[in-house]
Amino acid sequence: MLTLHQDDVLLDCRAADWRDALDQAAASLAEAGRATPEYRHGLHEREAQSSTYLGNAIAIPHGTPESRDQVLATGVRVLQFPEGIEWHDGNRVHVLVTIAAQSDEHLDILRALTHVLDREGVAAQLAEARSRAEIIAQLAKAPIVARVDIDTLCLGFPAKDRFELALAGAARLRQAGCVTGDFVAAIVEQEPVALGQGLWLASSSCGVTTPALSLATPEAAFVGPKGPVNGVFCLAGQGEAHLGLIDRLATLLDAGDGEALADADAATVLARLAGESARAETARARVLNAHGLHARPAKQLVHIARSQGLPIKVRLLEGSAETVSAASLTKVIGLGARRGQTLVFSAEGAGAGEALKALVDAMGDGLGEKVAAFDERRDVETAPAAPTPLEPLPADTPHMAVPAAPGLAIAPVFVMRAPRFDYPERARDLDAERGGDGVAQKARLERALREATEQLEALIRQAKGGEVAQILSIHEEMLDDPELREAAHEGIDEGLSAEAAWWRGIDTAARAQEMLADRLLAERAADLRDVGRRVLGILCGIELPTPPDEPYILVVDDVGPSDVARLDTAKVRGLLTVRGGATSHSAILARALGIAAVVGAGERIMTLENGSDLILDGERGRVIPSPSKERRERAELRLKEHQARERQAYAERFEPGQTRDGHRVEVAANLGNTAHAADAVEQGAEGVGLLRTEFVFMAHAEAPDLDTQIAEYREAIEALDGRPLVARTLDVGGDKPLPYWPLPQEDNPFLGLRGIRLALTRPEILETQLRALLVAAGDKPLRIMLPMVKDIAEFRAARAIVERLQEEIQAPDVQLGVMIEIPSSALLAPSLAEEVDFFSIGTNDLTQYTLAIDRGHAELSAQSDGLHPAVLRLIQMTVEAAHAKGKWVGVCGELASDPQAVPVLVGLGVDELSVSLRQVPMVKARLRELTLDEARRHAEIALAQATSDAVREALEAL
């Protein structure tokens, strides 16, 4: 963001006239290395188009868009002219804020300046200032604005009284980072006061970091002991910053719009809190101007607003919720609207509709500037920071990234570049054939939606169940969402083309989703855009790029889930992406489809030439572009051997898991979906070593009740037909949020309330789950495992519940164990082993906590290697402690399927390996290649190394 610094201020300048002043400003930018001397022409040309005088003795000279090439680095120079200069429009100027900007960064400065324009006496103070600091203090004092946005709202909360709602609002403010725990504590202490119309207010200024307002509404309005409850506002006040919000709240109540908030959606609540009346007509328009709503187009907009003869309000859809008068230049500039953002105009009374239309049309026409239609992809691609040309990847040299799905692929690459959608923004610009009116646009949209649905249905049929089909069904549901359709129709009614209206609806919904700031929901935003592009492609008649007929490795920026689903697995040998981590949707899908994948490989992979050869190693997370003949031959040999081994392993998948010399190591499967238990058996799994029951919870809109859970667990238990099931109790928090279990904002959720710690805060949920597991299992072999246990106290707390339930329902004894995924539990394994029935080592988290590397970290995750000697030592301690007490140990983290790690783990004495379903046959095959002595030697060598690289090298040399 562009900000004003003292170094950029030049005091005491004098100029013969405004031209001279402009030349001095240009020279000063050149001297500061911000622009070439030629930028001067841009400043003059811009001034010739219209005055850059802003008000209160300030002008803001800046270049024309054409002169942007002369900008070397975005920056500002502030020149003070104490004697003043007569500007060419007749105004007197004391300060020039001269801007060299490569894009629309100057809007930030402009926005900060607008508050100066409203203040009396600023002109004189600027003229008389004797220090740079004084000038900056006058110019850069941006007012603090209280926050109210989608993140501070908490709508439809399942609460039964005002206090709970007040607390939900406070928790939301805390999650949004506006308040600390002190604020929440202060809200707990007080009784919300009545505002009327069923609305209540709880407020405090204690622990406020950013003033903000939250509204919590109940699932359904109710009548409490003190009257009806439609919603509770929670106000974090600070200084005077929140007073504007209070005014707007009062206006809302005066207008009688309070009751309707009870079941309003977020957009409506924000509109009302912004000061938009329920009776007003509204219209939206996207800012198309390349540099946003800067002074010149803003002037034009204000001029049109003023000529309508009725008050018109405007707000920025993406901004903080405040409606301002569209007739005030400073206020309109103060919105800081950038290209692509949306303005919402509102007006009441006779003639409102026409007035709004005039504004929307003027916006579409560019407000006196030449504008191009907005296209999300292109606009994002051509966004400010001009991309520096990428260095191509060197040939025959390994390039490391994140391993996302195992397998080796050798094939030419197909680099898929995102299609560009070109379409007119306004319906009237469409040719007659495509129908330049709203009715025709709606019909086009309906056709495209139908076609998209048909495409999805065909893909779902092809996908034949599993994750792919599930995600595509979510897309189908999204297409059917009446709100999306309504938003698009609204856009069409405003005169937009079907394409522009549809994409605006998608984009707005996706942004709202992204704002929820949790990983799973953010992925839903990617799904929305994905489904949006499908419809856009149909509307624009753009075929997505066609891959070659021969087998290939797909190289792509990031793949949307439906892109992966479209992949023809017979042809796609591998997947390489610029972005994404091992936990992204695309990586999960690639694993489900059995396509080798390396992700998060960086922009440079997009320089790969279509058709050039690539070796992709999904196990090690590396790619080798244009390999030498020798390297390619070696890789081909490896691939052939690998394929032969895979075939052999599959044929022998029902053999018991054991080493060549008969040492038994059970090979089980990790499951997220109980419906996959039968597949696990079919892959040769000897049981389920980890059922991630949180996925059962995530698949429901609210916590599944006892019967639902019994049915789900029973499905797995029955499919296992006597094989053991290790069910992990609910492990949410950290990277696995549950939408209906809101958690307080935490600086570091991985070190916060998660796993068993969290479950023990809601014992009723844990109890229902345990009861469901015990009932579902009956006398079948069930093992229950607790996640994220750090010491014996947590185990005992959970065991007490299990024992009580067993007694109550007369359930047979089950094994109760803990996951070892926190170093403390490995260190304390001897005390745990006294009481638990088994351990299962979660190497994913154990590695994360031992090496202090976030397991989802895009850049560091390659270093987060479970074969690190520190992790291996913790595993060794765990096994020794367990065996000393006659207890068994499994490993259920990803390390259990790593071919280099299998012998090490067996050598360390691990009794069970639980791996992803498709890996079962290969892990069994790997066991058969070993003797126990060989495995012990692998372990010994690995433990003797100092780093994970050294471990891998030493093992490779064996």
Q: Between 613 and 694, name the residue whose CB sits nearer to Mg ion.
A: 694
Q: Tell me, what DSSP letter sits at residue 664? A: B
- 65-69 LR contacts (CB < 8 Å, sep 24+): 65/290, 65/291, 66/42, 67/38, 67/39, 67/41, 67/42, 67/43, 68/42, 68/101, 68/102, 68/103
Helix (H, G, I), strand (E, B) or coil at 537: helix
Q: Is 8 in the site for Mg ion (CB under 5 A)?
A: no
Q: Between 356 and 691, name the residue whose CB sits nearer to ligand PEP.
A: 691
Q: Between 658 and 847, name the residue whose CB sits nearer to ligand PEP.
A: 847
C-alpha dihedral (712, 715, 716, 721), degrees to nearest 10: 160
Known catalytic residue: 41?
no
Query: Burial letters for 790-818: b for 16+ Cβ neighbours within 10 Å, e otherwise?
Result: bebebbebbbebbeebbeeeebeebbbbb
Contact between 76 and 102 under an 8 Å Cβ cutoff? The reply is no
Q: Which of 64, 123, 133, 59 is nearest to 96 (CA)?
A: 59
Binding residues for ligand PEP restricted to 727-766, rule: CB under 6 A: 731
Indicate which of ligand PEP, Mg ion, none lies near residue 497 (CB less than 5 to 8 Å, by partner kind).
none
Q: Between 415 and 759, name the residue whose CB sits nearer to ligand PEP.
A: 759
Indicate which of Mg ion, ligand PEP, none lies near residue 892 (CB less than 5 to 8 Å, by partner kind).
ligand PEP
Whole-number minimum distance, CB 690 to Mg ion, in Å? 9
Q: Between 684 and 842, name the residue whose CB sits nearer to ligand PEP.
A: 842
Lookup: tokens for 250: 């009062």
Mind giving me the DSSP string for 729-765?
A: P---BTTB--TTS-----S-GGGSS-HHHHHTTSHHH
Known catalytic residue: 892?
yes
Q: Is 276 in the site for Mg ion (CB under 5 A)?
A: no
Whole-number minimum distance, CB 842 to ligand PEP, in Å? 3
What's the gap between Cα 538 and its chain centre? Answer: 27
Cα–Cα dist 625/635, whole Å: 13
Q: Between 745 and 897, name the residue whose CB sits nearer to ligand PEP.
A: 897
Binding residues for ligand PEP restricted to 642-701, rule: CB under 6 A: 690, 692
Whole-number minimum distance, CB 756 to Mg ion, in Å? 11
Question: Which residue number has the CB closest to ligand PEP?
Answer: 842
Determine the interface stretch with ligand PEP among 69-77, 194-202, 556-564, 839-847 (rule: CB under 6 A): 839-847
778 CB-near residues (< 8 Å, 6+ apart)? 811, 812
Determine the interface stretch with ligand PEP among 100-108, 261-269, 384-392, 841-849 (rule: CB under 6 A): 841-849
- Greatest Cα pair distance, the chain, in angstroms, is 98
Indicate which of Mg ion, ligand PEP, none lies near residue 893 (CB less than 5 to 8 Å, by partner kind).
ligand PEP
Give how many residues touch ligand PEP by CB under 6 A: 10
Q: Which of 642, 705, 651, 690 is nearest to 899 (CA)?
A: 642
Determine the interface stretch with Mg ion among 36-44, 264-272, 589-597, 843-851 (rule: CB under 5 A): 843-851
φ/ψ of 352, rounded to 5, equals -60, -45
Whole-number minimum distance, CB 788 to Mg ion, in Å? 7
Amino acid at 597: A
Q: What angle do CA 778, 782, 786 make, to 5 degrees?
A: 130
Q: What angle do CA 33, 39, 40 make, to 5 degrees?
A: 110
Interface residue with Mg ion, options 104, 523, 613, 845 (CB under 5 A): 845
Determine the interface stretch with Mg ion among 49-57, 340-348, 816-824, 907-915 (rule: CB under 5 A): 816-824
Indicate which of ligand PEP, Mg ion, none lies near residue 692 (CB less than 5 to 8 Å, by partner kind).
ligand PEP
Q: What angle do CA 8, 14, 19 make, to 5 degrees?
A: 90
Q: Is 694 in the site for Mg ion (CB under 5 A)?
A: no
Known catalytic residue: 62?
yes
Cα–Cα dist 146/714, whole Å: 51
Contact between 535 and 505 under an 8 Å Cβ cutoff? The reply is no
Cα–Cα dist 323/274, whole Å: 5
Whole-number minimum distance, CB 516 to Mg ion, in Å? 23
Q: Between 140 and 860, name the residue whose CB sits nearer to ligand PEP.
A: 860
Q: Between 679 and 821, name the residue whose CB sits nearer to Mg ion.
A: 821
Determine the interface stretch with ligand PEP among 16-24, 94-102, 351-359, 843-851 (rule: CB under 6 A): 843-851
Known catalytic residue: 294?
yes
Tokens 């990790």 belong to residue: 670
Contact between 89 and 125 under an 8 Å Cβ cutoff? The reply is no
Cα–Cα dist 198/29, whole Å: 58
| List 399, 475, 489, 585, catalytic entry | 585
Q: Between 445 and 889, name the residue whose CB sits nearer to ligand PEP.
A: 889
| List 62, 242, 399, 489, catalytic entry | 62
Cα–Cα dist 338/319, whole Å: 11
Whole-number minimum distance, CB 692 to ligand PEP, in Å? 5
9 CB-near residues (< 8 Å, 6+ apart)? 78, 80, 132, 135, 136
Helix (H, G, I), strand (E, B) or coil at 83: strand
Q: What angle do CA 596, 597, 598 make, to 5 degrees?
A: 140
Q: Is 821 in the site for Mg ion (CB under 5 A)?
A: yes
Determine the interface stretch with ligand PEP among 10-18, 410-418, 614-622, 838-846 (rule: CB under 6 A): 838-846
What count of residues does the chain have?
Answer: 958
| List 106, 868, 892, 938, catalytic entry | 892
Q: Which of 326, 321, 233, 316 is nearest to 275 (CA)?
A: 321
Interface residue with ligand PEP, options 198, 340, 537, 842 (CB under 6 A): 842
Whole-number minimum distance, CB 729 to Mg ion, in Å? 12
Contact between 105 and 330 under an 8 Å Cβ cutoff? The reply is no
Indicate which of Mg ion, ligand PEP, none lies near residue 817 (CB less than 5 to 8 Å, by partner kind).
none
Q: Work out the number of other CB atoms within 10 angstroms of the CB of residue 338.
A: 20
Question: Which residue number has the CB closest to Mg ion?
Answer: 845
Cα–Cα dist 316/149, whole Å: 12
Q: Is 821 in the site for ligand PEP (CB under 6 A)?
A: yes
Mind giving me the DSSP string for 852-910?
A: T--TT-TTTTTT--TT-HHHHHHHHHHHHHHHHTT-EEEE-SGGGG-TTHHHHHHHHT-
Whole-number minimum distance, CB 321 to ligand PEP, in Å? 38
Indicate which of ligand PEP, Mg ion, none lies near residue 724 (CB less than 5 to 8 Å, by partner kind).
none
Q: Between 554 and 819, name the residue whose CB sits nearer to Mg ion.
A: 819
Interface residue with ligand PEP, options 289, 843, 897, 948 (CB under 6 A): 843
Q: Work out the number of other CB atoms within 10 angstroms of the CB of residue 146.
A: 27
Interface residue with ligand PEP, options 114, 342, 844, 850 (CB under 6 A): 844
Whole-number minimum distance, CB 239 to ligand PEP, in Å? 44
Whole-number minimum distance, CB 672 to ligand PEP, in Å? 9
What's the gap between Cα 47 and its chain centre? Answer: 42
Q: Is 577 in the site for ligand PEP (CB under 6 A)?
A: no
Indicate which of ligand PEP, Mg ion, none lies near residue 623 (CB less than 5 to 8 Å, by partner kind).
none
Q: Between 684 and 842, name the residue whose CB sits nearer to Mg ion.
A: 842
Interface residue with ligand PEP, options 893, 903, 907, 921 (CB under 6 A): 893
Whole-number minimum distance, CB 697 to ligand PEP, in Å? 13
Q: Is 842 in the site for Mg ion (CB under 5 A)?
A: yes
Binding residues for ligand PEP restricted to 33-62, rule: CB under 6 A: none
Q: Is 916 in the site for ligand PEP (CB under 6 A)?
A: no
Lookup: tokens for 726: 């290790």
Helix (H, G, I), strand (E, B) or coil at 662: coil
Residues near Mg ion, by CB under 5 A: 821, 842, 845
Residues near ligand PEP, by CB under 6 A: 690, 692, 731, 821, 842-845, 892-893
Q: What is the set of active-site residues?
A: 62, 294, 585, 892
